[in-house]
Copies of this chain bind each other. A is one copy, B any other.
């Protein structure tokens, strides 16, 4: 077991890690990110991704499953203060890992989402979590989207990132034009209701910025629909709207014809 201890904020390796924790650009340039907590590290391992390094607080109690990793990975030991500076939450778990950001897997691309300029990492993580649960295979993010591999987005996704092919900096109009099936966009007031769409076969959904919605230029590449809202509420947040749409595809693919009033 190879352990290196760091106690100073001026240490070059610590500064490198802190940049990874805070700067999308640093993550992009290095192709690396940080996973906080055993839950995420375990999800990465289960998806066949092995971290480059473990980072832990001196004296942290390691989960049983993590013990074996200690023998096979380089370990960096940080003081509590340094760990707090690195972790995305107030009460750090005491265990992080350095992960090489995976290239988007070559997968079937029959069920996709296009995300335009989503700003909040928590929202993005929540959308990815719903997408992974619903069986989405590939996610295209516009240049203006917050980084899918930031510690906060990873926390929100709870491992969803490891199950999806994630294409960042995509030209969404081009993606929509080349997609081999219907590309649908939720637009407030659109005439067609979600439940009237034919959502079997290859299907993509586009979701826009939390405040501004989808840009006109991307809307023009999509078939508009609306989510019917019987109540007196203007809109759903993007993660909720995405879940409702993605699971309607799940229903139509596997359960149409069963249950409910036909």
Residues of chain A having any CB pair with chain B under 8 Å:
126, 129-136, 158-160, 163, 193-200, 227-233, 235-237, 239-240, 243-244, 247-248, 250-262
Chain B contacts of A244 at CB under 8 A? 243-244, 247
CA distance in complex: A166, B198 (Å)? 37
From B131, B135, B231, give the contact of A134 (CB < 8 A): B231
CA distance in complex: A232, B136 (Å)? 10
CA distance in complex: A253, B130 (Å)? 24
CA distance in complex: A136, B252 (Å)? 24
CA distance in complex: A259, B251 (Å)? 12
B257-A135 in contact (CB<8A): no
CA distance in complex: A159, B240 (Å)? 16
From B129, B230, B236, B254, give the contact of A243 (CB < 8 A): B236
A129-B261 in contact (CB<8A): no
B256-A262 in contact (CB<8A): yes
Chain B contacts of A235 at CB under 8 A? 133
CA distance in complex: A112, B143 (Å)? 41
Q: List 16 A-B contacts (CB under 8 A).
A: A130-B236, A135-B230, A163-B231, A193-B259, A196-B259, A198-B260, A198-B261, A228-B250, A228-B254, A230-B254, A236-B243, A239-B240, A248-B260, A251-B260, A256-B262, A262-B262
* Known A132-B233, A230-B134: A256·B247 in contact at CB below 8 Å: no
> How far apart are A203's CB and chain B's nearest CB, in angstroms?
11
B260-A256 in contact (CB<8A): yes
Chain B contacts of A233 at CB under 8 A? 129, 132-133, 158-160, 163
B250-A260 in contact (CB<8A): no
